[in-house]
Structure 1
Amino acid sequence: MAEKEKRSKKIKKKLLHKYRLVVLNEDTFEERFSFKLNRLNVFVFSVISALILIAGTTILIAFTPLREYIPGYSSTRLKKRATQLTYKTDSLQRELEINNQYLASIRKVLTGDVKTVNFNKDSIINAASVDPSKFDFSASREDSLLREKVSREDKYNPLLGDTSIDYVLFAPVKGNITQVYNPKEKHYAIDIATVKDTPVKAVADGTVIFSEWTAETGYVIIIKHRNDLLSVYKHNATLTKEQGELIKAGEVIGTVGSTGELTTGPHLHFELWRDGYPINPTNFIDFE
């Protein structure tokens, strides 16, 4: 016990032993000011200073914009911007999915990849069992007038729809037309015979929406122009543009060839479509 008391008194004496901190003028050794200190005071002052520094740093980080300059902390403006970009990205993804579905449907129609409609067999059987002699199929006056009106409207174009074009189209190639536009035979295009490897040019500015090989029509490229106009070029020997590229009017997009199963020689099978309806290309382009 005596040794413990001596040791505690010794430690207490060391902690409470007074020291004087004197600040002197280096040239004159004049005393400016002095402090009376002991080890306990220095320890308490150091602990309080550290706590104040930690508290002040925490307040600056938590409640002031200075935290933006500390690595690992993001700014409010950056978070807001990231949220806006997330919403925009989601909207663009949905828009892209809609456009992809639209282009896929156009691709199926233009390449002939359209499946047969699934009919209701029961309704066909029921219709076949009905006796047609019980019905009067003679045309009424209103029906006759309607037939005459539709006949006049379709006299020059058997397909309905606005097929007018308000800008100039360039000839994709020059040559002899071997097969004309004939909707009655479902030939919604013209075939232009010309020399093999002749450059094929775009009829107007637009975007390539299809540029691939098909078994029946060989290398095919489809360009979408403004006002929902589509131009189709089939049986090409080569294609120089890919899907998604922007095209200028008169720019070379391929070369004339005789690829695919449905071909008889070097020629360009050219189609024009507007709002889902075919257009006679010779009404707008001089190919000879």
Structure 2
Amino acid sequence: MKTPGRFIQSLKAKFLIVIRKEQDFSVITSFSISTGRMLSILALIFILIFGFSLIMSKTLLKAWFDPSYRDSENTALLFKMSETVDSLRLEVIRKDNYVKNIQRIISGETEIFEDQETLDTMPFAKRLNPEFNFEPSEATLSILQEMRGLPLEEARVQAPDGGFIGETYFFPPLKGVVTSIFDPTKDHFGIDVVAKENEPVKSIADGTVIFTSWTLGTGYVVAVQHTNELISIYKHNSVILKNIGDVVKGGEIISIIGNTGELTTGPHLHFEMWYKGSPLNPQDFISFN
């Protein structure tokens, strides 16, 4: 019982610290401090030094204290360089194909050169997303041909069969003013929506991206395959934020409104809906106001 009491008394014991001049030993200042307070100050100084050293080793001095820092930095740099080289390679191949197509057109050939390994089609999508296993139907293939600039064999407007369309809620791709309505008689199979600059464009429902490309007439185009052979198409974008094979949710941003392509007179979104190969009037299912 005496030992704890003696320990507490030793912590409470005070010491007088006097500072004197060396020449005449006159007192400059003096102060008293207990053993417990001295230990507390030492512990606080240790914690501060340890914390400061830890922060420095993770920030400014990380390259010195972390042996794996240099390896991780080199790995990230190599990965970034690999992506850049791959993108440049694909871009060079696309431009080579474009030149070959121009040469074929000038020479009078009608067949268009298309190398499946160099375009944003199935092989490229599988490389980006190995789980992408989309098999397009005949109706979907005809729409993909139209998006690549090839003429449609037929584009009949018909009422969708079943209750799938009527019972499904669609997110508006964006809010804005409809400046050009759906008019198949004038080969206008969608609507034009004008909105603010850099407005995000959203997917109308859950689905899988089946087409992302740039065409001369419609600029940057992205298409999403939904259930029951419903396809939504978004044209004249300034930026496409998704790749072929990406799974998107309804309301998820997929692109940015733009003014790309020759068939445009200002920033807007040309939006189309196709159901089993037939165009639908988007205003019958979505409110854009």
Task: Provide TM-score, normalisation by structure 2.
Answer: 0.49
Higher CA-based Rg: 1
Task: Provide TM-score, normalisation by structure 1.
Answer: 0.49
